[in-house]
Amino acid sequence: MAAITVGTALFLLAIPAVMSDLLSMPGNPIMRQLQNEQKVSRSDLRSLIHSRKMSAKWREMPTTYTDISLGYLILENYLSHEDYPGNLQQAEGALGNGLALAPMNPYGWMRLVQIRKIRGAPVAQVAEPFRLALKSGHNEDKRHMMLLLIVETGLDVWDELDEQEREIIAQKAQRAWDRDPRRTATLAVRTGRSDLLAELLGL
């Protein structure tokens, strides 16, 4: 009798995970396309978002919310921000939920930085998640585009950073310059901080 009771309890405990996985399945092929940098349609993005929202009703996972956020963020590229301002709000809200569950995620914090920059948030609001990205990990340099984004944002919010954070940006700026001086110079021009970059590099 006890074995039956334990078995029943384990079965009931497994239901949320099973339902969550089943409901997320329609969005999985779309997510793989995005991971492979393949273009997806607006309809596909909405399907991805819907599948992840349904999945989250049964089990909350950090990746579920970051997938929702990514869907809304890419959807923003298809639609006018003036006509559909809710996409960025939804992206930021979902990402906030994901980061609350797994805060040691530099990629998640940097995506929040991107969202806030797109919607024209004040520098202090952009600097807040950026500083958390710096604190949550330094191994993101393997992805060159992420390294460039960190350097660009660091130059953008330089006045909001403390001495330790500025030292991190200086090191990353040197790394980016060694790898790709042309792109590094271009992002400095884009931020209007060419003089600051030159100073950090000792040029």
Total domain count, the chain? 2
74 and 56 both lie in a single domain? yes
117 and 97 both lie in a single domain? no
Please give the model's pTM, rounded to 2 decimal places. 0.75
Residue 20: name the closest of 62, 63, 58 by CA.
58
Question: Domain residues for 175?
Answer: 106-203
86 and 112 both lie in a single domain? no
pLDDT in tens, 127-158: 999 999 998 875 555 677 888 889 999 999 99
Contacts 24+ apart (CB under 8 A), 163-169: 165/131, 165/134, 168/134, 168/138, 169/200
pLDDT in tens, 77-128: 766 555 555 788 888 888 888 898 888 888 889 889 988 988 888 999 999 9
Residue predicted with more confidence, 165 or 39? 165
Q: CB under 8 Å to 193, separation ≥6 — which residues? A: 155, 156, 158
162 and 199 both lie in a single domain? yes
134 and 203 both lie in a single domain? yes
191 and 115 both lie in a single domain? yes
53 and 120 both lie in a single domain? no
90 and 130 both lie in a single domain? no
**Domain C-terminal end among 74, 102, 130:** 102
